[in-house]
Amino acid sequence: FLSRLRRTEPQLKSFLYVSPEDAVLKQAEEIDRKIRNNEELGPLAGVLAGVKDNICTSDMPSTAGSKILENYTPPYDATAVKKLRENGAIIVGKTNLDEFGMGSTTEASGYQVTANPWDLSRVPGGSSGGSAAAVSAQQCAVSLGTDTGGSVRQPASFCGVVGLKPTYGRVSRYGLVAYASSLDVIGCLGSSVADTGIVLQAVSGHDKFDATSSKQGIPNFASQFIPKDYLDSKPLKGLRVGVIRETLADGVDPDVISSLQHSVSHLEDLGCTISEVSFPSFSLGLPAYYILASSESSSNLARYDGVRFGNQVFADELSSLYGDSRAEGFGSEVKLRILMGTYALSAGYYDAYYKRAQQVRTLVQKSFRAALEENDVLISPAAPSVAYKIGEKKNDPLAMYAGDIMTVNVNLAGLPALVLPCGFVEEGSSVLPVGLQMIGAAFDEESLLKIGHIFE
């Protein structure tokens, strides 16, 4: 892994920080020692993990992709990082992202643009583009990302890896740099469903430092990963799969639709009962998401005032110190979100935007509840297209936001969803992966992992 990372990183730029090799090797030697002494090993012993740079690490900078946090090293590990380490993982570095998680390509990173390992002229997706590219190029075995509106799932789809967004509350957000707190979730990426499930097992669980983390019991996810030779010919017999009709509509790449249709026949062959589900509020989720996420972010980002964290621009007046530090430290996408969010929350507009968006959120939750009463899982494409060219949507924020249509509803409802490769599209001389999204009932990651493992 280390030599591949060294070789590929100059082109890919997946990492904002890479641990010194001797620090990584020292941890590996410690695991070797434990093996020799027959000491107990965690399930991730010696596994190299990348961590998205908006998740705090006490021994590495954590910038959230923002210049306002340049060189900032937090005094503590996020709970998810602490748990990865307790399970034996070695953190190899901090992966690139769109600033504070705001974006779908990594082009909005304050530092660098990550390339897609399948075609270096294309985006890896975002905002967890670095985490997805690093696993796809095997610079590390697994990684942590975060998913506020699709940031684990869409890059997993663009980079041909597996990405899991857990139920809201399954994984502690303590030490996650907040973007939109009612939507933010730490998620897992890996090159197989089993790898992703093992990481989920490691990072799940209640945490007294995060009041929204759930006390729900954690199943043994690994029990789903039985070797496939032991399966009968219809291992998914009786499972009800609903295809969300509105996700196969106009505006979705025809190659993506045909990959999805192939997946549906594959699921049918495995024994699933397939039905079509109608989700009338589906397209309303996108504007509602952008209003809510921007509103929450405008409030969360108020803490970056040049005094408590990171970059400070000196000024005579305190208000100029705040203003200048923020003007210099935040990138343009972040400023756009703060402006949109502040506008949506301001007196006189609150009812028209924020309140209505909350009403849509309730509608989306109800639609999912109804659909998941009739079905064990719902499926859709993970994104309306495959990875596009770097720069293609950079100056058209609305086109980029529209690409999140498949994923944002899941965050509004707090549900778990798994994305895994389900086909390929040829574009010119490139072969690009297509991702399938499976959405489950709250806290039912088990069904997703079971179906995903058998499907892949």
Catalytic entry in 19, 62, 127, 172: 127
Query: Does 155 sit near ligand GLN (CB under 6 A)?
Result: no
User: DSSP secondary structure string, 269-281?
Assistant: HTT-EEEEE--TT
Neighbours of 338 (CB within 10 A): 20
Question: Is 127 known to be catalytic?
Answer: yes
Subset of residues 173 to 212 that bind ligand GLN, contact rule: CB under 6 A: 179
Query: Does 421 sit near ligand GLN (CB under 6 A)?
Result: no
- C-beta of 128: minimal distance to ligand GLN in Å? 7
Output the six-digit token pair for 300: 């969360």
Query: Does 103 sit near ligand GLN (CB under 6 A)?
Result: yes
Closest to ligand GLN by CB, 107 vs 376, is 107
Query: Does 106 sit near ligand GLN (CB under 6 A)?
Result: no
Q: Under a CB-based contact definition with an 8 Å cutoff, are residues 406 and 437 in contact?
A: yes
Instruction: Output phi, psi for 432, to 5 deg.
Output: -125, 135
Of 146-154, 191-199, 256-264, 434-442: span binding ligand GLN (CB under 6 A):
146-154
Task: Provide the CA 234 distance to its chain's centre, in angstroms.
Answer: 31
User: Is the previous residue joined to 127 through a cis bond, with omega within 30 degrees of 0?
Assistant: yes
Q: Which residues of 158-193 are buried (b: 16+ CB within 10 A; e: fewer)?
A: bbbbbbbbbbbbbbbbbbbbbbbebbbbbbbbbbbb
Output the six-digit token pair for 202: 């490691």
Question: Is 26 known to be catalytic?
Answer: no
Q: Under a CB-based contact definition with an 8 Å cutoff, are residues 193 and 154 in contact?
A: no
Q: Under a CB-based contact definition with an 8 Å cutoff, are residues 448 and 416 in contact?
A: yes
Query: Does 116 sit near ligand GLN (CB under 6 A)?
Result: no
- Count of residues engaged in binding ligand GLN, rule: CB under 6 A: 14
The one-letter amino acid at 359 = Q
Instruction: Output phi, psi for 381, to 5 deg.
Output: -65, 160
- C-beta of 34: minimal distance to ligand GLN in Å? 36
Query: Does 104 sit near ligand GLN (CB under 6 A)?
Result: yes
Question: Is 208 known to be catalytic?
Answer: no
Query: Does 114 sit near ligand GLN (CB under 6 A)?
Result: no
Q: Which residues pair with 162 in a beta bridge?
A: 190
CA distances from 122 to 126, 195, 388, 431 (A): 12, 26, 5, 12
Nearest residue to ligand GLN on Cβ basis = 151
Query: Does 433 sit near ligand GLN (CB under 6 A)?
Result: no
Neighbours of 303 (CB within 10 A): 11
Query: Does 148 sit near ligand GLN (CB under 6 A)?
Result: yes
List the x/- string, 248-277, binding to ligand GLN by CB under 6 A. Answer: ------------------------------
Strands 273-277 and 240-244: what pairing? parallel
- C-beta of 161: minimal distance to ligand GLN in Å? 16
Closest to ligand GLN by CB, 241 vs 291, is 291
Query: Does 169 sit near ligand GLN (CB under 6 A)?
Result: no
Of 42-50, 148-156, 227-235, 382-390: span binding ligand GLN (CB under 6 A):
148-156
Query: Does 147 sit near ligand GLN (CB under 6 A)?
Result: yes
Query: Does 151 sit near ligand GLN (CB under 6 A)?
Result: yes
- C-beta of 159: minimal distance to ligand GLN in Å? 15
Closest to ligand GLN by CB, 103 vs 452, is 103
Q: Under a CB-based contact definition with an 8 Å cutoff, are residues 155 and 132 in contact?
A: yes
Binding residues (CB under 6 A) for ligand GLN: these are 101-104, 127, 146-151, 179, 293, 404
Active site residue ranges = 52, 127, 151
